[in-house]
């Protein structure tokens, strides 16, 4: 059996700084260098193992691809994955085209070509989680996945913010209704509400009970004896054009501003409330404001 040849310090190339490449104290002149080399190799393997364990989640993630947002929404879910350089996430709105924007008006870089006059129609959505919510006398609840109004265990009032309202200032609103999907089955009688718009040039969502209660409002539209709602079924409010008109007629309102619908309880009986799905819960059937107008 051949006798192994043992390395000595002179056989080892010095390629690293001395503080990282020092030899241990000699305890066994025949075997110390072999033991040191083995120890160094195991130390390196241990460091590599620790690195792999620490980055295991990233290493094992699927490879991501370009992401297309849902039409008309700005809050886009990003699946967990590894995304190499050069990919993109694209938000888009099929309504944001030149022919839907008044001539020479610029909204996010899209220059309008729409001439005055004629009848127009659009659907506006809430777009972001914090744009929908409700509040009681003591609790403010944005982005809950559903928006309530009526009376559950307390009075519930709802708000729904619709940004990018490209209706031009001074246009005549011919119809305006809220389209929403029920978040559950609501069978209690009697649910009554009043619908308002925030009387503001460009509305912003409230952030507390106090700011919600302090909202300046247009005249209201009564929504009385609201029928029972069945889960995931679409429902439509009464015509809200008279209230929305008061916002569009404001001297400092401009196309591209935000408008906010506020729905307040109006003497509903106990447990008589309605809940609608909001953008946080579904990006495919969020509340929509359906409006037609002439210029």
Q: Answer yes or no: is 85 within a domain.
A: no
Report the number of distinct structural domains present in the chain.
2
Same domain, 234 and 141: yes
Does 270 have pLDDT greater than 50? yes
Tokens of 204: 């912003």
Q: How confident is the model at residue 184, as a pLDDT?
A: 93
Task: Indicate whether 119 and 255 sit together in one domain.
Answer: yes
Between 33 and 212, residue with greater pLDDT = 212
Are residues 254 and 131 located together in one domain of the fold?
A: yes
In this structure, are 123 and 196 located in the same domain?
A: yes
SS3 content of the chain, % helix, strand, coil (to 5): 20, 30, 50
* pLDDT given at position 18: 56
**What are the tens digits of pLDDT across the range 164-187?**
898 999 999 999 999 999 999 999
According to the model, what pLDDT value does residue 115 have? 65
DSSP structural state of residue 53: H
Q: How far apart are CA 31 and CA 38, in angstroms?
A: 11
Run of H or E including 121: strand 119-125
d(CA 26, CA 60): 44
Please compute Rg for the chain using Cα positions.
32
| Residue 253 sits in the same domain as residue 125 | yes
H or E element at residue 146: strand 146-151
Please tell me whether residues 163 and 266 are part of one structural domain. Answer: yes
Residue 104 scores a pLDDT above 90: no
**How many Å apart are CA 131 and CA 9, to the nearest integer?**
71
Q: Is 270 inside a domain boundary?
A: yes
At 248, list the tokens.
């569009």
| Higher-confidence position of 7 and 271 | 271
For residue 152, name the pLDDT band (cuts at 50, 70, 90). very high
pLDDT at 99 (0 to 100): 74
Q: What is the pLDDT of residue 8?
A: 56
Q: Report the pLDDT value the prediction gives residue 43, as an integer from 0 to 100.
A: 66
Whether residue 56 is found in the same domain as residue 124: no
* Pairing, β 273-277 against β 146-151: antiparallel
Structural domain boundaries, residue 51: 9-60
């Amino acid at each position: 059996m051949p006798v192994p040849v043992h390395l000595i310090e002179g056989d080892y190339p010095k390629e690293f700084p001395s503080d990282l490449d020092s030899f241990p104290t000699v305890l066994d002149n025949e075997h110390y260098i072999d033991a040191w080399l083995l120890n160094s190799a195991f130390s390196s393997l241990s460091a590599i193992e620790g690195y792999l364990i620490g980055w295991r989640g990233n290493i094992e993630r699927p490879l991501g691809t370009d992401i297309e947002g849902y039409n008309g929404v700005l809050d886009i879910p990003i699946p967990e994955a590894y995304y190499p350089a050069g990919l993109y996430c694209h938000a888009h709105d099929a309504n944001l085209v030149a022919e839907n924007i008044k001539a020479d008006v610029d909204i996010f870089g899209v220059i309008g070509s729409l001439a005055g006059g004629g009848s127009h129609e659009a659907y506006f959505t809430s777009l972001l989680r914090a744009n929908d919510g409700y509040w009681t006398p003591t609790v403010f609840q944005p982005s809950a996945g559903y928006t309530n109004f009526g009376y559950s265990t307390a009075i519930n009032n709802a708000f729904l913010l619709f940004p990018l309202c490209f209706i031009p200032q001074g246009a005549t609103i011919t119809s305006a209704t809220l389209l929403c999907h029920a978040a559950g089955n609501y069978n209690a009688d009697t649910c009554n509400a009043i619908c308002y718009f925030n009387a503001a040039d460009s509305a912003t969502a409230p952030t507390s009970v106090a700011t919600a209660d302090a909202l300046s409002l247009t005249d209201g539209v009564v929504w009385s004896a609201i029928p029972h709602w069945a889960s995931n079924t679409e429902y439509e409010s009464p015509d809200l054009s008279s209230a929305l008109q008061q916002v569009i007629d404001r001297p400092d309102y401009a196309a591209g501003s935000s408008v906010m619908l506020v729905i307040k309880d109006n003497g509903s009986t106990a447990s008589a409330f309605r809940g609608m799905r909001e953008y946080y819960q579904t990006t495919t059937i969020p509340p929509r404001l359906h409006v037609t107008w002439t210029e």
